[in-house]
Amino acid sequence: MTISYDQFGLKEVINASGKMTILGVSKVSENVLAAQRFGGEHFFEMSELAIQTGAYLAQLLKVEDAQIVSSASAGIAQSVAAIIGQGSLYHVYHPYTDRIKQREIILPKGHNVDYGTPVEVMVSQGGGQVVEAGYANGCSPEQVEMMITENTAALLYIKSHHTVQKSMLTVEEAVAVAHKHQLPLIIDAAAEEDLFKYSQAGADLVIYSGAKAIEGPSSGLVIGKGQYIEWLRLQGKGIGRAMKIGKDNILGLTQALADRLENGSESGESMKQRLAPFISALNQISGLKATIVQDGAGRDIYRASVKLQEHSAKEVIAALKSADPAIYTREYQANNGIIEFDIRAVDASELEKIITRLKEIM
């Protein structure tokens, strides 16, 4: 049987929105597919597979240990549970027990965002209780410190374009507060490109999405201190059982990360070069003004920003999605009349289709 869009009544999708879960996040390479196939065609002692792939990745990433999980969201929940339980088997089987009072997870208020589900949902799933520090428009190290009590289990920092970017304490400041009060710091860096920065800054656990910057299959990765990773592995007998990941995706992510470290990712300069003719073509369309912009969170990612002068951005976005192929864009500034196009997963022929469709809509 040959798989196709038509077989399931699906539309083709051009992903100009970025590494988004709603679209399947990333395409995977032939190397990754081969690793997944090897996993699918063989049996393993699964506990040993987790330990050995974790040790392999830890060596590559220069950390004490690593654990592959089913997603970055699962990484948050299991990291929180690990820190709260501290290796207790009683806790593993009774994750929400009243015996353990130290459950407060301090999070800057501007980091308590909805990225597809609210951050606090994943913290709660891990048995934590979110305590917000600061305000939506700012959080200082002092405001984090004043929320620490005897029931504080950990600090959580979300490094993401979804969060408030201004007037927030830095990663380094969060590390300093955590170390001063002898508390673990968990950093959710799901879509971040730098796989070394946050562990080297002093974070105790760092969480990545396997399918975003790493361009692996559906998966997540937690790296950091060996003791905490051991506690996290125990969650496979507890809440992690409902979040287990298959052998094929464990090996697929392992291969993807090794390839990512060897080959790197597309540079911002390359993106700008690919964007240049696309921007020029868009500016030939009446009613559009296109420019190149950098990612709002400061990453080395460049996109096309299109200001609509005569049409509603929301109506144009809906029209782009309605056709076949469906064209998905970044919609965060639609209320300002702006549509952004992320071209990391878009090839030249797909860029031409976007131009053609915009001409039709305009």
9: left (phi over 0), alpha (psi -120 to 50) or beta: left
**Residue 59 reports pLDDT greater than 70:** yes
**How many residues appear in the chain?**
362
Dihedral (CA of 191, 192, 194, 198) sign: negative
Judge contact between 316 and 361, C-beta under 8 A: yes
Task: Specify which residues 295 forms β-bridges with.
Answer: none
Judge contact between 209 and 240, C-beta under 8 A: no
Q: Which is more confidently placed, 123 or 320?
A: 123
Between CA 21 and CA 63 the distance in angstroms is 27
**Residue 301: predicted pLDDT:** 86
**Residue 1: predicted pLDDT:** 62
- Residue 349, CA distances (Å) to 102, 260, 273, 352, 355 in order: 55, 25, 16, 5, 10
**Residue 266 reports pLDDT greater than 70:** yes
Question: 266: which 2 tokens?
Answer: 């597309």
Q: Residue 231: helix, strand or coil by DSSP?
A: helix
The stretch 172-199 carries a mean pLDDT of 96
Domains and CATH numbers, the chain: 6-24+266-361 (3.90.1150.110), 44-263 (3.40.640.10)
Please count the other Cβ atoms lying within 10 Å of the Cβ belonging to residue 275: 21
Encode pLDDT of 238-255 as tens digits: 999 999 999 999 999 999
Please count the other Cβ atoms lying within 10 Å of the Cβ belonging to residue 172: 10
Between CA 97 and CA 114 the distance in angstroms is 27
